[in-house]
Amino acid sequence: MQDTSGITNFDTIVGSGDYAVETKLVINGVEYGEDKIFSVKTSRQLFTTDNPTVGNAVVGRLDASIVRPNASIPRAAEIKPYIRVFNSSLTSGWLQKGVFYFYQRWIDDDSDVMTIVAFDAMFRGNQSYPSSKLQWDDEHPYAWQVVNEILSFMEVTAEEDTLTILRQSNYIVQFPAQYSLRDVLGSIAAMYGGSFLITNEGLMRFVAFADLPGETFYLVTNDGSPITFGGKKILVRG
């Protein structure tokens, strides 16, 4: 669940149960407010089936429709969605909801609407494992060493807690011939009983399945975040 404690007025407004949500996009450094946005949807599916699974390297996706920009958007341009909440007396600060990179676009010339598809940094993991600097011949590298190398290939930083978890076990990894970076991340995640995803701040996070049972009694989104009503988690009775 994303920490909102540092966002001005956010928890206070949501806790009141009476609020509305405003959205904005920052695309290649240019801000697009609700007057230029028709729709925005982000998804990050932690579980690939209805039942919780491990061994996933989750790609986050953004779908949006906006007024056709005056300036061109370069391929792989950075896109950050934000939300804030407000009521009749208060407005919160902006809460970042991901870091995505422009992938495809379609333009309706009649309506001047641009439809955008973007993915987070995990999408970079679809490439084959590049030339490695690790020693694979005599002694196979530890899983955490392989993850560090994958992070450098993908140009992503990991959360400190994730690195701490990975260093707690000396699992070794076989040479990943003909496997993609995501394939290797998924196999390492399975060793540790969890999955990898990119956070709303753009950092690599390992989510351990063992950490989820307390939350699975609540109605949650696909990335494991509790769904709230009036600021309260919705408890599911078995």
What are 174-208's pLDDT values in tens digits?
898 889 999 999 999 999 999 999 999 999 999 98
Relative to beta strand 113-119, strand 194-198 is unpaired
Domain boundaries, the chain: 10-121, 124-209
Domain 124-209 adopts which CATH fold? Phage tail protein beta-alpha-beta fold (3.55.50)
Nearest CA to 183 among 196, 200, 168, 198? 196
Q: What is the pTM of this model?
A: 0.84
Q: Specify the CATH number of the domain 10-121.
A: 2.40.10
Residue 233's pLDDT is what? 45
Question: Is the pLDDT at 237 greater than 80, yes or no?
Answer: no
Report pLDDT for 107. Answer: 93
Tell me the pLDDT band of 17, cut-offs 50, 70 and 90.
confident
CB 189 within 8 A of CB 57: yes
DSSP characters over 102-154: EEEEEEETTTTEEEEEEE-GGGGGGSBP----S--SSSPPBHHHHHHHHHHHH
Q: Residue 230 has what pLDDT?
A: 47
Question: 130 in the Ramachandran plot: left (φ > 0), alpha (ψ -120 to 50) or beta?
Answer: beta
